[in-house]
Copies of this chain bind each other. A is one copy, B any other.
Amino acid sequence: MRATLDFLLNDWLDVEALTQRPRFADHSRETFDSVLDTCERIAREKFAPFNRLTDTEEPRFDGKRVHLPEATHAAMQAYVASGMLAASQDYELGGMQLPCVVEMGARSFFSAASVAMGGYAMLTQGNAHLLMAHGTAVQKEVFAKNELAGRWFGTMCLSEPQAGSSLSDVATRATPDGDGYADDPLGPRYRLKGNKMWISAGEHELTENIVHLVLAKIPGPDGKTIPGVRGISLFIVPKKLADTEGRLTGERNDVALAGLNHKLGYRGTTNTLLNFGEGRFPVRGQAGAIGYLVGEPGKGLACMFHMMNEARIGVGLGATMLGYAGYLASLEYARQRPQGRPVGPGGKDAAQPQVAIIEHADVKRMLLAQKAYCEGALALELYCARLVDEQHTAAGETSAEAALLLEVLTPIAKSWPSEWCLEANSLAIQVHGGYGYTRDFPVEQYWRDNRLNMIHEGTHGIQGLDLLGRKVVMDGGKGLALLADRVNRTIEGAMQHPELAEHANALAQALAHVGRATKAAWATGHPADALANATPYLQAFGHTVLAWIWLEVGLCAAQREASDFTRGKLAAAAYFFRYELPKIGPWLAVVEARDTTCREMQEAWF
């Protein structure tokens, strides 16, 4: 995995070029490598050996406290000590000014070693980054800095028991906290009441405090809230209150753990139902959780999307690395496990010794599929992270383009690994045979863990609606046109290489097909017509994007001296083009036809 990561970062994405930019001027290939080395080591020593333990000893709530394994505490301490929480931040903030793409590479080790333990860090970083972008100076100082230093961890509180995908229906309310509410130095002070569901890292004792970022609605003078997402505001609701110096005041806020969710996987991250402001912990003499407004009232969702977009790429990386971990486990197993014999012209000769199962064509197929899914997905996530760096540090036009491309790619970066690296995990089980179905091998846990990723941070269906309903049509299709331009550049380059020309042609056709399907979907102008098949569209779009990424990676490999490593990359690219890309045909067919089979199905007919 390290060799592939190094190849993608250095040979393909040329991260060293970033050191030409002022922000990264102190960095070099050596400093980047050393960050990767450190993270690889911490993940290997503090995360991986305890991944199964975090599953079997899932978080336990005794009515007062949540208990986590000691190993989780130790892993978090090591992570915090590494300084990675603030890695991309300014030096003044204790950061390293590390490019996002290198940080993403470093984070991949933790996701592969224990995705659930890595969740705490991911949420804390996302939370702090949001505050750095949208918080006041004091909010940054008090909340974000404590998070970046790892003294406090963070959460994002969007869903409610009755409102998951439909954030319009958030029922948590925020009302001004007394007459002087607007003058609190920590931000306009409100009292929040409501329930938040599926809150990862919502309760634990890993850190002295927890910073909840909470979506809630501020009622108007008539006591009513504005329907829809326009009525949503964003609040900082710390578990324990703090002063303007970031010190705990000793006051417990009115945020109570109603219960832990007991999940299929991802058990190492606590997942909670939180009650805000129900009076379990009255604060300053009354019920209601104290929260400080972030940004403007009614603009909460826009702020939250800062964190959501980051979280979506983070989910994609987590899904990718779960797939990758399964791939490596099944590859190792297939190399060692003797079983069966090669099939010769006359069948099999039982008198011959058995061979390792990696010799069988179907096992190779299952390994190659995993390689194509997981290495491709990793390349995509790193590419997106590289776009974040472009957005933040490149010149005007380039920066704007990167931001636009990132918008179009985010639904794919989130959904594609969630679907296909889960499939990779299933193949990893299959390679192991019966052993893979036991808890003595790691692959079943990866598969269970990975099943979450199509659900959280916007379900698969939501990603499809985002892509076809918004991203490819916004600004008159500017984002899609930009992507097509990039893809065409890759195609042109690949046409020069005989072994890639076949793939380049296939990609050109796929791209044209996606373009036609996009137009056909919207031909009537009715969202209901277009969006009825948004998920198959998402799948086809995703496979096309991954084919492009594989052509990019293949092109990079083809330009290097041939070796086992480059042959592997070219074989995985070939697998993707021959076995995977053709799948877009059936998906796009229903999109183009605006097939009504599903939407016209009636409830009574089921």
Contact in complex: B590, A361 (CB < 8 Å): no
Q: Is A151 an interface residue (CB 8 A)?
A: no
Chain B residues closer than 8 Å to A348, beta-carbon distance: 168
Q: Using a CB-CB cutoff of 8 Å, which residues 335-394 of chain A contact chain B?
A: 335, 338-345, 347-348, 350-351, 354, 356, 358-365, 367-368, 371
Chain B nearest CB from A333 CB (Å) reads: 12
Contact with B along A558-597 (1 / 0, CB 8 A): 0000001101100100110011001101100110010101
Q: Is A452 an interface residue (CB 8 A)?
A: yes
A310 beta carbon closer than 8 Å to chain B? no
Expressed in whole angstroms, the Cα–Cα distance for A472 and B394 within the complex equals: 60
Is A351 a contact of B227 with CB atoms below 8 Å?
A: yes
Closest to A445 in B: B264
Contact with B along A510-548 (1 / 0, CB 8 A): 000000000000000111100111111000000000000
Within 8 A of B (CB), among A401-432: 426, 429-430
Contact pick for A344, options B341, B356, B528, B595, CB 8 Å = B528
| A228 interface contact, C-beta 8 A | yes
| A278: Cβ under 8 A from any B Cβ | no
Which of B579, B586, B606 contacts A568 (CB under 8 A)? B606
Contact residues in B for A162 (Cβ distance below 8 Å): 338-339
A29 at the interface (CB under 8 A from B): no
> Who on chain B is nearest to A535 by CB?
B362
**Chain B nearest Cβ from A522, distance in angstroms:** 13
CA distance A571 to B596 in the complex (A): 10
Q: Verify B578–A590 contact, CB threshold 8 A.
A: yes
| CB-based contact A368/B437 at 8 Å | no
Answer yes or no: A439 CB below 8 A from chain B CBs. yes
Bound form: Cα–Cα A263–B585 in Å: 38
Is A155 an interface position by the 8 A CB rule?
no
The answer for the CA separation of A180 and B417 in the assembled complex, in Å, is: 65
CB distance from A160 to the nearest CB of B (A): 11
Q: Is the CB of B452 within 8 A of A437?
A: yes
User: Across the interface, do A371 and B606 meet the contact criterion of CB distance under 8 Å?
Assistant: yes
A451: min CB distance to chain B, Å: 7
- B451 touching A447, Cβ below 8 Å: yes
Query: Who on chain B is nearest to A359 by CB?
Result: B603
Q: Does chain B have a CB within 8 A of A51?
A: no
Residues of B within 8 A of A261 (CB): 434, 438
Chain B min CB distance to A298 (Å): 13
Does the CB pair B164–A567 fall under 8 Å?
Answer: no
What B residues does A228 contact at CB under 8 A? 350-351
**Contact in complex: A429, B448 (CB < 8 Å):** no
**Whole-angstrom distance between the alpha carbons of A604 and B361 in the complex?**
15
Give Cα A354–Cα B164 distance, bound, in whole angstroms. Answer: 12
Query: Within 8 Å CB of A593, what residues of B?
Result: 578
Interface residues of A (CB under 8 A from B): 159, 162-166, 168-169, 197-198, 227-229, 261-265, 331, 335, 338-345, 347-348, 350-351, 354, 356, 358-365, 367-368, 371, 426, 429-430, 433-434, 436-440, 444, 447-448, 451-452, 454-456, 459-461, 464-465, 525-528, 531-536, 564-565, 567-568, 571, 574-575, 578-579, 582-583, 585-586, 589-590, 593, 595, 597-606
